[in-house]
Structure 1
Amino acid sequence: MDRRLAVVIAIFAHGCSESSVQESRIAPRQEADAGVTRPVEDLQVSAAAAEPEAVARGRVVYAVNCSVCHNPDPNLPGTLGPEVAGSSLELLEARLLHNSYPEGYTPKRDSRVMMALPYLKGDIGPLAAYLADPGSS
């Protein structure tokens, strides 16, 4: 087997292991707001400016879970995945939760390498907030 392919498979397999998933999971952070707490994962992307807490969390989620395949800079294509800057909430939900695409969407790459990452369900909003404008954060 080609050495490069073996390395890619080893990295991919490590990323899929349960211990790797557990290590990369980011614990929900509580945000104090006038005596009321709310998990950051409840933040949603709005058409207006995203909350700084959501963008910061999304940056960490991307760095830990996405940058190895896509690229540390979401504006650039990675070795396995395409550039993802500007990805919609709908696209992120389809890809991360269901390993599918929204109806009518044409993939940038049809590599079929990416799997669903359901453990990121609570982080999709912050991830979308970060990817909406990764250069400004």
Structure 2
Amino acid sequence: MVLPRALAKFNRYATNPVAGLFAGRAPGFAILRHQGRKSGREYRTPVAVFHPDGVYRIALTYGRNVDWVKNISAAGGFALHTRGETIELTDPAVLHDPSGRWAPAAVRPWLKALSAEYYVEARPASE
């Protein structure tokens, strides 16, 4: 069961502003900065991010059809503000892995519970 769209809408206006206060500094979280593909407006979305091997991976807890995924795919890249630094990422790809092997072992049960089988993978633009 991927999280429902109604919850996503609630989070956009209620939870995300609060999460934004710590997401750019807390381990395992980040602020994803992207540009609207239609509006051109800049958006900031709190996300859980994992990058133990230099490749950045973000769980798609609301599924792969959310606007921010469409925006970064159309743009071919995005910025991630994490642990006090901003990293430019490129070539985002939506990948499928029901086992969640790409995520830390402690996170996998949560991903399974949410049926979050998809994730975004991107690499630093400077590579």
- TM-score normalised by the chain length of structure 1: 0.30
User: Looking at CA atoms only, which structure, 1 or 2, has the larger radius of gyration?
Assistant: 1
Q: Where is the helix percentage greater, Structure 1 or Structure 2?
A: 1
Q: Where is the strand percentage greater, Structure 1 or Structure 2?
A: 2
